[in-house]
Amino acid sequence: MREQKTRKAGPRAPKGQLLIELLHRQWWREVEESPVPTVVVDPTNLVILGANGSFWNLMGHLLKGGGSESFLWEQGRDEAMGLVRDALAHGKSGPRPLVLRTSKGEETTCYPEARKVLFQGRPAVELKLGLEGITDKAAHFFRDLTQIAPYFHDFDQVLDRIVERFAQAVTFHAFALSTVERGELARMTIFTGLRPKEEFLGKVQEEVIRALLNLGVSVHPARLSYSIREKGWIKALGTGVVRSQVVLPIPIDPEDGIHGVGGLFHHYPEGFRGEDVGLFATFVGGIASSYLIYRSFKRAEEESQTDALTGLMNRRGAINQMASFRASQAAPREPLSLMVVDIDFFKEINDKWGHRVGDMVLKELGEVLRSSVRDVDLVARWGGEEFLVVLPGVDVSAARKIAERVREEVASMCIEVPSGSISASGAQIRITVSVGVTQLRENEEFQGAIERADRMMYRAKSLGRNRVIGDRVEEL
């Protein structure tokens, strides 16, 4: 009978520990097989403890076990630490936006979910990066467009904000927008980083014009409006070379013969992935949609009776109101006077201080006029810097006194220049007005009286401005 040998067993791991190790191996196998880029980090310093193949494919420039600074932009560390702290406190957190640095040294936005885990027996946090695809990016982009709606009264502001939103989703070094009107290139605007190289701008312009010519568009540089918008939120370039580009047509407003071409440019070869190109197509569609909304807003404004800037009646509203004045006159011989008020040197105000201050001046004058007359009187912005005041039941002598009172009040005003204007903030400016006053003649149409008051206003300007010129009583 063979003697049985006994072997002394080594110390056994507790069953609980074996179960933890088994679950860890199963979890890690699932992580490694996942197509979602996943990284496990030390919650105290964000050092990489492990990651799957999808993560290393995305971040191929890293060394395994490298520090967090190798995959997070500096400005992303606080967001990442907040995500990790929430996961430690609540077991999981997210998703929330985080900017990573890819193997090309570029930014990419992800929306990671964080989960508290054990990694090789130590507390850690798993980050599933959840890189957004074209559908998610488009959803974020169009959601942001709703925040731009308040700016639709000025399409340049709209365009600035649309491009800024797009720059948050896709990295690029220049975006060029050209608009074509009736078959001819009318305007080209290039958005780029600060202090761009002339060589780079020239290459961008050359590629856009080449695309336009291929579409049969006429290009006459002498008639072209060309502008460069340098933006701090677009990555600046230290070189003038274009190595990647996407150029797409934009059907802005085919009914009015307006369309264009949008171009996206990158310094790096293959700088745009397939999803970036898809999002760019969505982006240029967003520009076209925004322009159509802008045009609709302007048309609605033209059809309305209120001036959007001053809150006064506009020309259309004033014409309707004057018709009702005539219909409601108690007697045909009841006096009715008009004032045409025009701001002196208004163009110089805009040129020196900027349109923002010019708008402030228009609103201030509108308030002075409104507060200087009765509720039954009409005050309207007749056009540009010209205002119309209609005074039913007031003869020309009384109207001249009202006009003189307005002129004196305006001349005494001080308007403070706000911060962010073209010139230094804190300055104060003064304005003056020239006023023409007349009284509606018997059986005369309003248009004839307005033209007469307008001529008197221009006479006041020719005599030195800041004065009132009106009918003489004996002329009535």
Whether 469 shows a pLDDT value over 80: the answer reads yes
Q: Do 88 and 13 contact (CB within 8 A), yes or no?
A: no
Whether 408 shows a pLDDT value over 60: the answer reads yes
- Report the distance separating Cα 451 and Cα 432, nearest Å: 21
Confidence at residue 391, expressed as pLDDT on a 0 to 100 scale: 95
- pLDDT, tens digit (0-9, with 9 covering 90-100), for 164-207: 878 877 889 999 988 887 788 888 999 999 888 888 888 898 88
- Report the distance separating Cα 116 and Cα 93, nearest Å: 9
- Report the distance separating Cα 192 and Cα 267, nearest Å: 12
- pLDDT, tens digit (0-9, with 9 covering 90-100), for 133-145: 444 555 555 555 5
Assess if CATH 3.30.450.20 describes domain 19-131. yes
Question: What are the distances in angstroms from CA 101 to CA 59, 130, 237, 281, 464?
Answer: 8, 15, 17, 24, 64
Through-space distance between the first and last CA atoms of the chain, rounded to whole angstroms: 146
Confidence at residue 140, expressed as pLDDT on a 0 to 100 scale: 56
Q: Do 411 and 405 contact (CB within 8 A), yes or no?
A: no
Helix or strand run (H / E) with residue 125: strand 122-128
- For 320, half-sphere exposure in the C-beta direction (CA atoms, 13 angstrom radius) is 9
- pLDDT band per the 50, 70, 90 thresholds, residue 437: very high
DSSP 466: S
Of 86-90, 121-125, 220-224, 278-282, the least confident: 278-282
Please give the model's pTM, rounded to 2 decimal places: 0.42
Whether 208 shows a pLDDT value over 50: the answer reads yes
Of 74-78, 87-91, 110-114, 222-226, the least confident: 74-78
- The residue with tokens 């800037």 is 309
Q: Which of 160-169, 227-236, 366-375, 466-475 ranks highest by mean pLDDT?
A: 366-375
Domain with residues 135-302, CATH architecture: 2-Layer Sandwich (3.30)
Q: Which of 86-100, 151-165, 455-469 ranks highest by mean pLDDT?
A: 455-469
Domain range annotation of the chain: 19-131, 135-302, 315-475
- Report the distance separating Cα 84 and Cα 80, nearest Å: 6
Percent of the chain that is helix, strand, coil (3-state, to 5): 45, 25, 35
- String of b and e for 450-475 (b: at least 16 CB within 10 Å)? bebbbebbeebbeeeebbbbbbeeee
Q: Do 93 and 111 contact (CB within 8 A), yes or no?
A: no
- For 366, half-sphere exposure in the C-beta direction (CA atoms, 13 angstrom radius) is 21
Structure tokens at 72: 């997070």
Query: For strand 174-181 and strand 184-192, is the pairing parallel, antiparallel, or unpaired?
Result: antiparallel
Select the more confidently predicted residue: 66 or 433.
433
- Report the distance separating Cα 416 and Cα 429, nearest Å: 6
Confidence at residue 138, expressed as pLDDT on a 0 to 100 scale: 55
Torsion angle of C-alpha atoms 420, 423, 424, 425, degrees rounded to 10: -50
Distant-in-sequence, close-in-space partners of 71: CB < 8 Å, separation ≥ 6: 39, 48, 59, 62, 100, 101
CA 70, chain centre distance (Å): 33
Beta-strand (E) ranges in 425-466?
428-429, 433-439
- Report the distance separating Cα 466 and Cα 254, nearest Å: 47
Of 17-31, 195-209, 275-289, 391-405, the least confident: 17-31
Whether 46 shows a pLDDT value over 50: the answer reads yes
Distant-in-sequence, close-in-space partners of 183: CB < 8 Å, separation ≥ 6: 216, 217, 218, 257
The C-alpha angle 342, 345, 347, rounded to 5 degrees, equals: 100
Note whether 19-131 and 135-302 share their fold: yes
Domain with residues 315-475, CATH architecture: 2-Layer Sandwich (3.30)
Cis peptide before 97 (omega within 30 of 0): no
Question: What are the distances in angstroms from CA 390 to CA 313, 322, 338?
Answer: 12, 8, 5
- pLDDT, tens digit (0-9, with 9 covering 90-100), for 410-422: 999 988 887 655 4
- For 305, half-sphere exposure in the C-beta direction (CA atoms, 13 angstrom radius) is 8
